[in-house]
Structure 1
């Protein structure tokens, strides 16, 4: 027994150095995009584009030791594990975390309130990550939160209560679902080793096994689409599970192995079922460009220039997607400046937060979200329901406009610790002659003048010294028709 305890302790200690690693092959931004043809999807997509700010929640087995999500199971050259532990023993240890995952303080209302206070308007929740552990009451496997030590808890069907809590706050609801499933014998066949993220057998030679996996995937997504109320977004991760003919240079740039067979799970069949159950459903088949990637998802980065099609940057509040003890959370300045840049370039920000194994968002993260919300409460008009402008950037000033195009917003990013200046200047987007310039923080007009083609805004005294950014609204100069 003593040796067993030392073994487990050794494994966990090995992760202290590993758990802050980020996946190196994050998704890049492509300009390839196909607009949806379904009118209901277009309406839902427009509603989503109005929201601008959302929360993605990674919560699963990896939350128990507080380490990187799922990826430690994979044997790729960027993964580090203790060399004294065999790979098979490591996998057994990881799978056994299901026997210890008992989140007795699970409080989805706390999560929803923290997101609401931050000014967020949509949710993406990890119903299943690559490790295959389901955070919902699936009938396809016993490997789920609803079948372990938490099974007798009234909230054991975790996804149901997460979705319900956020719906009550008026959020759009998104279900994250991993297409690969490393726990399923139909994806990682125990007959063979598991060298990388891909399925570990030749699909061309074993079509029966792959068809079983396709049915398994279809059935789980069907459960989510039929048993969990209204769903707005199906957010599908694991872009290497795709038709072989769709593999392009973008995919090859990830550096991951590309097998000689097609990991096609028949997305058309899944989409027809999902949209019959959830009319207008937004589908996000990440990096698989075409009819089932209704918006794109650059990860941990912001595109260099604005994009005219729908997109979001998914980024972490801390260094990790899931819960990690003593994580380094970004400042409200960093998050708000990223949000401003993203929205000005036509996108949305999906911010990652990881609850603890007990089921609570850490207090430090909640405090950070609250600070973001203070700014959003005063300046949200310049973020929500806006679209990008022809001129969207000038130095530290970013621009958005309302959907009618008759009101412009200038958002000036300020550096933490700097004094509020007496005046600000920008060029490019100027107020119409005689129009008022409203400082959103006070909802009052401020003085402005035009000097050498630049607008100079005189700031009132008494503004908060801890203001992350100042936002102004004004009526734009009307351009003559061509």
Structure 2
């Protein structure tokens, strides 16, 4: 985009860019994104390696100097061409997304490290000029859309303000010749979450030009902004929303944002690694990582959460009117760890059986029942989540009862679900051809299940014909 507002002062009119979540987003429920960048080369600790390697005494710094050399002789830029992407295959990534059951997906478009994962004319530090020498964003957008996957672009580049500032005065980030890689030298305090010195106009202009370029080249169906976007001037944030929604006609597009980085109502509110304890009247999103440690990227000896953990998390989020955007980080060569693939396949297997209780659903009047804490990973057959669609209510049990009998108090005749069942009501176990018997008492709905489980991890009862 060539900005015609460059020398003008814009007064943000946020009422012009109010946008409700489109139907496709509300229906999708589950997405994937992929943290992949030069930080995937050292694969040490997490994706903040690019920043922490420059702070003397931190684990990343000690490891870096022992493994690669001093910060003067070997800086972050020297990882670029080690990220060769030799096994990257956008079609294989699309296959993985489809197999996982995710309905929207995309690679991290730019992390905090000034490395653009697209064919950029705005930023010479990109995946076409360095590393894989390929347009990762473009290839994924094309491959994903061929498979019916909505495409999301995620931006984290507001973090670049102060990101690389080092406690080592000899670090390569202070060499003026490297400014294109790391940005200008700034006071150390600019790497604080909310710095005293906010980004200048030059930085904000580059920040928005990158987003404009991605919108123009790839027309993302959703744009995700990481936290700290609040440090970008209000005019720039408004110009992005106005351009995306109004000037380029993305009437089905949506922006997701964190905290109070954008005004309420201009997109979908996102919670990082968390969720609401109660059902919300508005659609929202939780982004979290498959990795079972404090990382969003590939690391040495990675560990992954179980499929049961993710499935339970997804059911809880969907019951509360949210979507789950799950991260999986590939190796530097663009391939995925076999265990990550295995878990994603297992999630997809569950959704292939039970997806009718997830996709296109809306919240039931009660979201949850059970003794477990809302954020607990230890859920049992006494814990339930509820959704509904087209007059059908779904009760999702988070475990299989030892006596093959579910007892759902929410759906008793006097329960908060206010569901009245009669002889015309039909109850079935999704994925099973065996009949179930049931009785609705005043305080509880009792359902006798067959002996054979139709799947693993969580079990869905389909309830038709209940009057509420």
- Answer yes or no: same fold by TM over 0.5: yes
Q: 1:279 aligns with which of 250, 255, 264?
A: 250
Q: What are the equivalent positions in structure 2 for 1:100-111 lying under 5 Å apart?
A: 100-111=82-93
Partner residue, 2:268: 295
Quote how far apart the aligned CAs of 1:277 are: 2.4
Q: In 2, Cα distance between the equivalents of 1:188 and 1:469? A: 49
Matched, 1:439 2:414: no
8 Å Cα contact 1:307-1:346 kept in structure 2: yes
8 Å Cα contact 1:36-1:291 kept in structure 2: no
SS in structure 2 of the partner of residue 296 of structure 1: strand
8 Å Cα contact 2:230-2:262 kept in structure 1: no
Quote how far apart the aligned CAs of 1:452 are: 4.6
Q: 1:231 aligns with which of 195, 220, 231?
A: 220
Note closer, same or farther for the CA distance 1:76–1:452 as it changes in structure 2 (3 Å cut). Answer: farther
Partner residue, 2:202: 212
Q: What are the equivalent positions in structure 2 for 1:81-230 lying under 5 Å apart?
A: 81-82=60-61, 89=71, 93-151=75-133, 156-180=134-158, 181=160, 182=163, 188-190=183-185, 192-193=187-188, 196-197=191-192, 202=197, 210-228=200-218, 230=219
Note closer, same or farther for the CA distance 1:85–1:110 as it changes in structure 2 (3 Å cut). Answer: closer
Q: 2:329 aligns with which of 354, 362, 386?
A: 354
Q: Deviations over 1:43-63 (max 9, x none)?
A: x52220110011021111111
8 Å Cα contact 2:114-2:181 kept in structure 1: no
Q: What are the equivalent positions in structure 2 for 1:284-433 lying under 5 Å apart?
A: 284-287=256-259, 288-290=261-263, 293-318=266-291, 319=293, 320-395=295-370, 396-402=383-389, 404=390, 406-414=391-399, 421-429=403-411, 430=419, 432-433=421-422
SS in structure 2 of the partner of residue 428 of structure 1: helix
Q: In 2, Cα distance between the equivalents of 1:369 and 1:160? A: 24
Quote how far apart the aligned CAs of 1:177 are: 1.1
Partner residue, 2:240: 270
Quote how far apart the aligned CAs of 1:83 are: 5.5
Matched, 1:58 2:35: yes
Q: TM-score, normalised by structure 2?
A: 0.79
Q: Deviations over 1:354-409 (max 9, x none)?
A: 1111111221111111111111111100001111122221210111111x4x2110
- The alignment covers a number of residue pairs equal to 408
8 Å Cα contact 1:63-1:324 kept in structure 2: yes
Q: 1:45 aligns with which of 19, 22, 43?
A: 22
Q: In 2, Cα distance between the equivalents of 1:313 and 1:476? A: 32
Structure 1: state its 5+ residue gaps.
Answer: 1-34, 204-208, 244-262
Partner residue, 1:14: none
Q: In 2, Cα distance between the equivalents of 1:99 and 1:54? A: 29
Q: TM-score, normalised by structure 1?
A: 0.77
